Chain A
Amino acid sequence: MKPLIRSLLSVTLFATVAAASGNAYAQGFFLDDLGGETAASIDSNPGTAVVATPEDSITVVPAAEPEPQQSTASGQFVATNNYSIRSSKGDRLCTVPKGTPLAPEQINSERDYVQVKVNHPGCPSDGWISVNGLQPVGGSGASMKVEVEGSLALRESPGSGGKFECGLPPDTSVAIVEQKAATDRHRAWVKVNLENPPANCPREGWVHSEYLRANDNLLASLPVDAAAFTDIVADDGGTEAGFGDTCTDCANRNIQALKDVVNGVTSLSNLDSWRKARGMVQIPTRGSNGNIGPCGSFHYNPQSPAPVKGRLVDNYANPTTACVMNAMLQEWKSRYPSTSSGARVQWGDISHPTASKFNGHKSHTEGHCIDFRPMRNDGFKDEALTYQSGAYSRSRTQEFIDLAKSMGANTVLFNDSKIDGAGWSGGHDNHMHICFPDSRKTRGVCENYKYDPNICGGN
């Protein structure tokens, strides 16, 4: 349960930032700056988010003496973006715009959908929404703690231009007392109250919300409706977001799951340094050319399309997909450890940080699909390979596809008719096109995946 809420909050907070940044990648949005570049990008680029909140800011007055569990259900939430409201069977009933106030009533047994009271034209008075669609905006439940490596800047006023007051160390407890309206350029900033301010820190100030995590499980006290959402898989191309191409809230709780998996590992695996855009994370690579991928994998043709400001633009994946990809790479490397083997995983285009279509691809829009080269029967070589080639290994390729399917791949395109479980499609003689939806199965793989440094060796 705890990871779920951590995930929820990290995602909703991240979604706020992502939404605020609009074309995040192009603006240099990444989470390695504490109140600096990240905030600057947002502040100067309010994006196109439309929210019906007229106030300049939302002031939250803490309840006098809140009862911890009661505060949960009464805590204030808004929709993180344009989100679907559904029936308990998953049918779409309406869409609420970003910023719509929502009051939680029940949660399903999987704890990934919440029944909420809705007051929006065209919507019923209550319905179900993905937990990814809920953003806490304060109230007595908004007890948070600082989660950073290093320290988080506390500023006198919102925005990176605000006067620096002090640095808050990790785990500092704060309470949100004010949040800017979703239309405000400083909407990613929140005013916090410090119960026990560190030395030289004032009791109140503004911090960037991305670096706060909930202390408490804000949904803990909700009654469970065991019958609701018993077999629902997100649609809309794998996300609950109301719009695909510019989806900013695709960043779901698996960002946190992914972080839990890969943090603590050297080099490639510090998720805070992973770039994020359009709700996707960039699969990390090493080297100036970008060929060296996670866990012994090889990223081919990284310079196509041409990098932007020196950064690759072909390797952004939905967080769940990224997580499953890492799990698959690890499992494969446990079977074929040598990076000089023809069985080394070679992957190519995934998705672009700012463009839903790139390199002529039609189905690499939201980070769910990855191109892989077929397996070789000789040694590793950076060369395209078709299934007609003498160096092609059908048995290894079949094994790879079987592994992908066991980890939740729902679409596999590859034109070797002797391969089981792959569909034919023009142009797929020289690569496997494998898609991992954000489904119960892939999420399960992600949640059960544990990074093994003995296999991936720090990669």
Chain B
Amino acid sequence: MRYLILMGLLLTSFNVIANPKARPAVSTAKSCAQWMSAFNKYEDEIDGDIVWRYNRVQVRNWDPNEQFSGILMLKELAGAVLVAEYRSKLGEVKTDRFDMLLPFELDARYKIFENFKPLEFFRFEDSGVFTLRLMSGQDEICKMSGNYRVGH
């Protein structure tokens, strides 16, 4: 009997490890934009003091007039990875993974993909499309896409 119980626990553990779908408990109640969002971090003058502020922004495009400072993720989602992909109209493909998550200094509810620097990633000569995927293991939790455009 004791062996059967141990065997059952072992198999259960094995299942957890082998089946990625069993790993993160991602609530389906939250929308993509709630799990992940772009943000702009900026300075403003408030009552005579210059302070840092931020606001979450919708990802649509990337051009000189439409940019964002980085990607935030709800802190309760541990172990996620951001996958950024760019496909130019001429066929160039660039894919990077970012997994360094740090607490977001301006809002304790979020973590920031610290090593994803949009201004460094978005350096392409030709227009194209980009996709930002929030991955947890093999699961795609959220995906945001937009157009990359040169200036006008």
Contact = CB atoms under 8 A, between A and B. Distances in A.
A304 to B, nearest CB: 6
Contacts, number: 88
9 smallest beta-carbon distances between A and B, as pairs? A360-B150, A360-B151, A384-B66, A287-B43, A361-B151, A427-B152, A431-B65, A383-B57, A359-B151
Nearest to B43: A287
Contacts of A289: 41-43
B152 A430 contact: no
Contact of A361 (B40, B42, B45, B64): B64
24 contacts: A287-B45, A288-B43, A289-B41, A292-B45, A298-B42, A301-B67, A304-B119, A349-B64, A349-B65, A360-B151, A371-B64, A371-B65, A383-B58, A384-B57, A384-B65, A384-B67, A413-B152, A425-B152, A427-B63, A427-B149, A430-B61, A430-B65, A430-B66, A433-B152
B78 to A, nearest CB: 28
Contacts of B44: 287, 291-292, 298, 339
Contacts of B152: 360-363, 413, 425-428, 433
B50 interface: yes
A381 B150 CA distance: 23
A304 B42 CA distance: 13
B60 interface: yes
B61 to A, nearest CB: 7
A383 B119 contact: no
Interface string B40-72: 111111000010010101101101111100000
Given A363-B152, A382-B40, 18 more contacts: A291-B42, A300-B42, A300-B65, A304-B64, A339-B45, A349-B64, A358-B151, A360-B64, A364-B151, A382-B42, A382-B53, A383-B55, A384-B66, A427-B63, A427-B152, A428-B152, A430-B65, A431-B65
Interface in A396-448: 413, 425-428, 430-431, 433
The bracket for how many chain A residues form the interface is: 35 or more
A266 to B, nearest CB: 12
Contacts of A61: none
